[in-house]
Structure formats: structure tokens, C-alpha cells
Amino acid sequence: METKIIITDTHTHLYSNEFDYDRNEMIQRAIDAGVSRFFIPAIDSTFTQLMYDLERTYPENIFLMTGLHPTHVKDSYCDELKHVEDELAKRKFYAVGEIGIDLYWDKTHLQEQKRAFRKQIQLAKEYKLPIVIHCRDAFDEVFEILEVEKSSDLFGIFHCFSGTYEQALQAISYNMKLGIGGVVTFKNGKIDQFLNQIDLKHIVIETDSPYLAPVPYRGKRNESSFLVNVLSKLAEIYNLPLEDIAQITTENSKSVFGI
């Protein structure tokens, strides 16, 4: 009897309004393709109820995070951080994320982003949870904070990793797995050029859907079933069967999220 492969999407925004017209069908397509574990990052308090609704509909498949996304760190960020604290005190989450620093869209709130990032790292340590890092145009700033906060109880995922080989090694040195998604299939993605030098034990896979769809869907809405395309590319890079990549990356996700 053939063993069904279990694929884990470690980062998908299933509550996005881009899925409003076909969410259940899209999730079923992913499950049919072997993607049966979905880890859902938070953005801010306005999405909390949507995340709870998803979890209630798919209790065996959906695993929630809580956190404040760096692009949503505004003047009222202290209220949002209080929401994260209250959520953590009231129920189980599988990570604090996605958190970090984003200097691509706006540099206005850099200092607030740094404070929010540190505070949420400290909350994750307090609750013995992994962090899921969002980093865009901000490797130096993110690494500076990880250097200050590094400890045996700091661990997690560097979501949507798109840095250099040296930055990959630095992220791994802070007990971070590298979240690999559609970018690995892009011609100009660059990470495919060195990824085979990184041990697979440091890799998890993700879609970041509805964003960053892999080739041949680049530019279209991403969805979790497209993880198979990411797996195919990794199988090519590591010269291993797709099923092996699926199994190893799912085991890696279990070591991070504890489930």
C-alpha cells in the first residue's frame, strides 16, 4: 500500500480576501495534493476572528500563530502588541509571527518596528514558542536584534528567505530554519544557486499564499497546492525524490512547531 506523502505549508494567509470566493475549494485542492498542514501567520488584530473561523472549520489542518506584522507597526502599535499579549495569555498558538522588520514599503516607523520585534521575541521566549520572521530590505537590522536576543530558547523560521549564502548561514546560527517558497523557482531568485550547500535539515517549505506563486504560476494568485512545484524544484536542487523532500521538510516543521 502506498504511503500518502504529508506536505506542510509553514506560511499561508488562508484568510486573505483573495480567497473569499473559493476558499474551501482551494483548501481541498491543497489537501488532495498532499498538503494537509497549514500554519497561519497573523498580521494584526483585524484578522484574528477570520483566523479563528478557519481553525474551527479545519481543526485537523489549521495551526495558528499570533503576532504583529512589521508593515502594520503604526503609531498605535502598542495597542496591537497588547492584543498579541492578551491572545497568548488566553489560548494555544504554535508560533509568534509573522514579526520582524520591513524597510521596503516605508522606513517611517523603523524604531517602532525594532521595538515591536524585540518585544515579540521576548514574548515567544516567555511562552517557549518559535518566531516566524519577516525580513525585507532589513537583514542588518534583523540580525542586529537577533544577536542581542540570541539564546537557546530563541528559534523559529526565517520566512521567505531570499538572502545570500552568508546570510543563510547567519540565520541558521540563530536557530532559524529557512522558509523556502516560490522564489526558489524564479530565474532571478538566486537562492537556487547555493541552496544545495545548505543541509536539508535547515529547510522548511511555504507558499506565503496568495503571494509569490512559483513558476509556472508566477504573477498569479498563489495557493497551497502549488507547494508541489516548490518541492519539484528542491528535488532537482538536492537531487532527491520529491517524496523525500516532503518528508524531511515536514519533519523539520514538526521540530519547529512541536506538532
- Laid out side by side, the sheet with 7-9 consists of 7-9, 35-40, 62-64
Residues 159/208, Cβ–Cβ less than 8 Å: yes
Task: Tell me how far apart the alpha carbons of residues 186 and 192 are, in angstroms, rounded to a whole number.
Answer: 9
**pLDDT (0 to 100) of residue 5:** 85
Percent above pLDDT 90 for the chain: 95
Q: What is the pTM of this model?
A: 0.97
For 161-186, b where at least 16 C-beta lie within 10 A, e where not — what string? bbbeeebbebbbebbbbbbbbbbbbb
β partners of residue 178:
158, 203
3-state secondary structure of 93: coil
Q: How does residue 8 score in pLDDT terms, banded at 50, 70 and 90?
A: very high
Cis peptide before 98 (omega within 30 of 0): yes
Q: How does residue 154 score in pLDDT terms, banded at 50, 70 and 90?
A: very high
Residues 39/253, Cβ–Cβ less than 8 Å: yes
| Residue-wise pLDDT tens digits, 163-208 | 999 999 999 999 999 999 999 999 988 999 999 999 999 999 999 9
Task: Tell me how far apart the alpha carbons of residues 77 and 65 are, in angstroms, rounded to a whole number.
Answer: 18
The answer to whether residue 103 scores a pLDDT higher than 80 is yes
Exposed/middle/buried for 11, CB within 10 Å: 0-12, 13-18, 19+? buried
Helical axes 77-90 vs 110-126, angle rounded to 10°: 10
The answer to whether residue 1 scores a pLDDT higher than 70 is no
| Residue-wise pLDDT tens digits, 14-44 | 999 999 999 999 999 999 999 999 999 999 9
Residues 44/68, Cβ–Cβ less than 8 Å: yes
Hey, what amino acid is at 11?
A: H
- Laid out side by side, the sheet with 96-102 consists of 96-102, 131-136, 156-158, 176-180, 203-205
| Residue-wise pLDDT tens digits, 116-135 | 999 999 999 999 999 999 99
Q: How does residue 105 score in pLDDT terms, banded at 50, 70 and 90?
A: confident
Closest CA to 135 of 208, 222, 237, 214: 208
The answer to whether residue 224 scores a pLDDT higher than 60 is yes
Mean pLDDT of the chain: 96
- C-alpha R_g of the chain: 17
